[in-house]
């Protein structure tokens, strides 16, 4: 036993997979300690809020400590943040068309959209709403006029005044705050700050908090499904392989029947027959488990058939030991490593099967927790995250599913290299 454990510990593939899997488990247990609460709570009134740190505008205006900084390049950075690259490309387009029409000789090299100072100098020098560029539609001209009006507002350095409502007069005549372009506040002084490393989904829910909760639920589903499938497959494989005869024929008849029918079809049919209200995470895990035992049964049966005529097994038969005792003492220990590998694969299959069912709308029906499959369903099938460019709503989920499957399969490969003599010799 110790020799096998040392061999497993020296397996690079197993250890890499094991470390990845443990890191995922630590995330599931530790993150909720720092960010507790309902993972499905809707905190945003907008769909697909981008990842970032958000501060309360009201609290930032009401903060008592205001600092003054004169930072070099602050004005350019402020203008650059408001003047998108699309706006700059539009300005460049107008300048090139106007230059070609008037013969000014401006080329693309002369118009640098990355240099706001030079771009604005060219724009102020040549743009005039009264000037007409040949071939330009009225809608396009109106677009440039609106852009020019917005540019005028960008260079206003006047202080901002925030007025509050006077309850006695009903007028906004109480000066609440006076803000200059050099005023700054410390984010630690603001009472309400929201950090969203992965933004929100279509329903305004924190994607990271939801993802961590979903990982835990999906792992639980995989564990239950893997345990059921492995238990059924191991039991039937042991009985069929050792007893043989008509028992073997009956077991293999049902095993082959399950094998012939595609597993996903069985999952869909059984899941569809269960009402939506009764389809919780545990129910889905049980359905996956009772439909995924066939290949484990066939594999265990083949292993047992190769062991049942060994000398130590025959000696136990001659000693009058019962069949359960012979299977438990003389056969099961020799296939224990294979059972562990089968169990690991069954967990991975359980997680992937739940994701598949959820994408088809047949996954767990829950309003209290999330699964990885449900998150994909919510972001892609029931909303437009992939169309809206909200990558943070589904790419992290896909990555986590792939990472869990990769770690489990890597662990399985490492164990196979340790316990499989042919691979070990290679």
pLDDT value of residue 213: 94
User: In whole angstroms, how far apart are CA 397 and each of 84, 215, 374, 375, 403?
Assistant: 30, 9, 10, 7, 10
My answer on whether 182 and 212 are in the same domain is: no
Q: For residues 339 and 332, what is the distance between their CA atoms, to the nearest angstrom? A: 9
Considering the domain boundaries, does residue 89 fall inside one?
A: yes
Q: Report whether pLDDT(263) > 60.
A: yes
**What CATH number has the domain bearing residue 323?**
1.10.3720.10
What is the per-residue pLDDT across 5-19, written as a single tens digit (0 to 9) for each?
777 777 888 899 999
User: Would you tell me how many other CB atoms lie within 10 Å of the CB of residue 406?
Assistant: 15
Q: Note whether residue 348 is domain-resident.
A: yes
**Residue 201 located in a structural domain:** no
pLDDT of residue 153: 63
Residues β-bridged to residue 183 = 68
Residue 66 lies in a domain: yes
- What gap in Å lies between CA 231 and CA 228, rounded to an integer? 5
Tens digit of each residue's pLDDT (9 = 90 or more) over 190-214: 889 999 999 999 889 999 999 999 9
Q: Are residues 172 and 61 in the same domain?
A: yes
In a domain, 199, yes or no: no
Check pLDDT > 60 for residue 253: yes
Query: Do residue 237 and residue 119 come from a single domain?
Result: no
162, 232: one domain: no
Residues 109 and 221 in one domain: no
Work out how many domains the chain is built from and give that number. Answer: 3
Would residue 278 count as lying in a domain?
yes
Residues 109 and 214 in one domain: no
Full-model pTM: 0.81
203 within some domain? no
Q: What is the pLDDT of residues 167-179, one digit of tens each?
A: 777 777 766 677 8
Quote the domain boundaries for residue 182. 56-70+157-193
Residues 89 and 112: beta-carbon distance below 8 Å: no
Return d(Cα 294, Cα 251) in angstroms, integer. 10
């Amino acid at each position: 036993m110790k020799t096998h454990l040392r061999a497993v510990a020296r397996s690079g593939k197993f250890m890499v997979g094991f470390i990845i899997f443990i890191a995922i488990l630590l995330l599931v247990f530790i993150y909720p300690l720092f960010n507790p609460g309902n993972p499905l709570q809707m905190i945003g009134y907008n769909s697909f809020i981008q990842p970032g740190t958000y501060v309360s505008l009201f609290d930032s205006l009401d903060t008592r400590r205001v600092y003054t900084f004169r930072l070099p390049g602050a004005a350019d950075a402020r203008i650059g943040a408001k003047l998108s690259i699309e706006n700059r490309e539009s300005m460049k387009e107008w300048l090139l068309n106007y230059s070609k029409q008037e013969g000014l000789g401006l080329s693309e090299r002369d118009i640098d959209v990355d240099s706001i100072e030079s771009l604005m100098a060219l724009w102020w020098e040549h743009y005039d709403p009264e000037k007409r560029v040949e071939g330009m539609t009225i809608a396009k001209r109106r677009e440039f006029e609106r852009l020019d009006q917005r540019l005028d507002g960008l260079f206003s350095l006047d202080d901002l005044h925030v007025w509050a409502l006077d309850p006695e007069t009903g007028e906004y005549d109480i000066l609440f705050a006076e803000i200059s372009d050099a005023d700054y506040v410390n984010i630690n002084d603001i009472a309400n700050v929201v950090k969203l490393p992965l933004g929100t989904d279509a329903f305004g829910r924190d994607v990271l908090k939801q993802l961590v909760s979903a990982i835990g639920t999906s792992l639980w589903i995989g564990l239950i499904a893997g345990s059921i499938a492995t238990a059924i497959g191991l039991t039937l494989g042991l009985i069929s392989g050792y007893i043989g005869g008509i028992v073997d024929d009956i077991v293999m008849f049902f095993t082959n029947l399950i094998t012939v029918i595609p597993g996903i079809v069985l999952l869909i049919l059984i899941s569809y027959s269960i009402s939506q209200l009764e389809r919780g995470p545990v129910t889905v895990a049980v359905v996956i488990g009772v439909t995924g035992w066939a290949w484990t049964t066939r594999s265990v049966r083949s292993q047992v058939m190769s062991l049942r005529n060994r000398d130590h097994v025959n000696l136990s038969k001659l000693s009058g030991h019962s069949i359960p005792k012979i299977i438990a003492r003389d056969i099961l220990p020799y296939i224990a490593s294979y059972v562990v590998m089968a169990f690991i694969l069954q967990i991975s299959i359980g997680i992937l099967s739940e994701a598949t069912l959820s994408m088809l709308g047949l996954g767990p029906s829950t309003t209290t927790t999330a699964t990885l499959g449900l998150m994909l369903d919510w972001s892609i099938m029931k909303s437009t995250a992939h169309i809206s460019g909200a990558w943070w709503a589904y790419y992290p989920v896909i990555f986590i599913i792939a990472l869990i499957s990769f770690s489990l399969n890597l662990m399985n490969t490492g164990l196979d290299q340790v316990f499989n003599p042919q691979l070990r010799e290679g």
